[in-house]
Structure 1
Amino acid sequence: MSLSRKRRKELTRLRKSADELWNNQQEVLERVNALAREASRQAGVLTREEVVPKVRESYDQIVRPKVQATQELAEGVRHQVVDKVLPGIGTAVGTLMSVGDVAHDARIRAALNRVRFQKPIVVQKKGPGAGTYIGLGVALAAAVGVAYAVWQTFRADDELWVAEDEPAAATSVED
């Protein structure tokens, strides 16, 4: 393709202008990268000096005591189950097994055969008794206690991230 001398000069000027623009953009990008590195470094320093100590302090003052209280509650529940509920279940199973052994005894079978011919006594149940309501009340109280402990553990604390002393003036990064 043949171009006139005038067009070649215009194209040469245009190419020089594009190269100059490219070089200027590269310089701007280098400055932006340097500024971003400095901002990242400053953010790291700010995090180490300000944020991490406040998070640690908040954890030690707010979260750790609640976790310890929850662990103590769980230990108390475990103690109650191991020391009171499981022995009762063991006793009930043992009693059931002994009743099964007694049922196979020939003397008991003979006594039962004599009683079969008598008219059975029917006891009519009138409805749930006081024990049912007491049991429901205890279960409800336990559920409310556990729900309250969980709520206290996981509730949002508005003062958790609020800084007590606000900085007087923000520092700026200068080139």
Structure 2
Amino acid sequence: MGSSRKRTKELKRLKRSTSNVFDEQREVLDHANDVLREARRQLGNYARDDVAPRVRDAYDQRLKPTVASSLAAGRAASYNARSRIAEDVIPAVSGAIGSTLAVLSAAKDPRVREVVKKAGKTTSQLSKKAQKRIQPPSSSGGVGKFILLGLGVVAAAGVAYAAWQTLRADDDLWIEDLEESELTPDA
């Protein structure tokens, strides 16, 4: 079945109008591409001329000084901690250890042992009456036990005090923020 002439004319007219619409759409898309290309170029110029200098200035005026002062504060804190350990903790610990070693070496000295033996013989030579009145202390490890116990307590107290002195909060350890007038160099 053939199409009528009227329908054929309508189809041709429809093809022409469709072709015109496609051509107009191509022109619009080409024009949109040109506009986007120009916008991209203008955005690059704006970023290079306006945004980059602002970012650079903000970095130089805000971030750099903050990082520098933070590093200085960190260095000062580490120096103070190191000096506290060197001046407070190490001498206290070495003093406690030295005292302990001195007492131990004195306890091993034969002269001290001899004096302790003589003191023991003197008590055995007392009269029986005096021995009844004086009861010898029960043997519970001797004098060295108490001396070592005392030295241990003194050493622990020294270490605790030195650690407390080292770790306590000091207001002078903190570096105050500098004013802006101090940050800008005098011209």
Shorter-chain TM-score tier? 0.5 to 0.7
> Match of 2:185?
none
**Displacement of 1:27:** 0.7
In 2, the alpha carbon distance for the partners of 1:47 and 1:82 equals 48
| 1:87-166 aligned within 5 A | 88-91=88-91, 94=94, 107=107, 110-113=142-145, 139=169, 141=171
In 2, the alpha carbon distance for the partners of 1:45 and 1:3 equals 61
| 1:19-58 aligned within 5 A | 19-58=19-58
In 2, the alpha carbon distance for the partners of 1:37 and 1:100 equals 85
Tell me the TM-score normalised to structure 1 length. 0.55
Q: Which amino acid letter does the alignment assign opposite residue 9 of structure 2?
A: K
Give the number of aligned pairs. Answer: 131
Structure 1: unaligned runs, 5 residues or longer = 116-131, 150-175
> Match of 2:11?
11
Deviations 1:106-135 (A, max 9, x none): 9386424478xxxxxxxxxxxxxxxx9x99
In 2, the alpha carbon distance for the partners of 1:69 and 1:114 equals 54
In 2, the alpha carbon distance for the partners of 1:141 and 1:114 equals 42
Tell me the TM-score normalised to structure 2 length. 0.52
- Identity, in percent, stands at 29
In 2, the alpha carbon distance for the partners of 1:101 and 1:135 equals 25
Higher radius of gyration, 1 or 2? 2
> Match of 1:72?
72
In 1, the alpha carbon distance for the partners of 2:94 and 2:142 equals 24
Structure of higher RCO (CA pairs closer than 8 Å, 6+ residues apart): 1
Q: Which amino acid letter does the alignment assign opposite residue 111 of structure 1?
A: V
Distance 1:4 1:72, change over 3 A: same
**Displacement of 1:139:** 2.9
Paired residue secondary structure (1:139): coil
**Displacement of 1:57:** 1.5
Structure 2: unaligned runs, 5 residues or longer = 109-140, 148-163, 178-187
- Supply the RMSD in Å over aligned alpha carbons: 4.0
Distance 1:103 1:41, change over 3 A: farther
The structure that is helix-richer by fraction is 2
Deviations 1:42-68 (A, max 9, x none): 111111111111221222122211211
Q: Which amino acid letter does the alignment assign opposite residue 75 of structure 1?
A: R
In 2, the alpha carbon distance for the partners of 1:113 and 1:62 equals 64
Q: Which amino acid letter does the alignment assign opposite residue 25 of structure 1?
A: Q
Paired residue secondary structure (2:143): helix
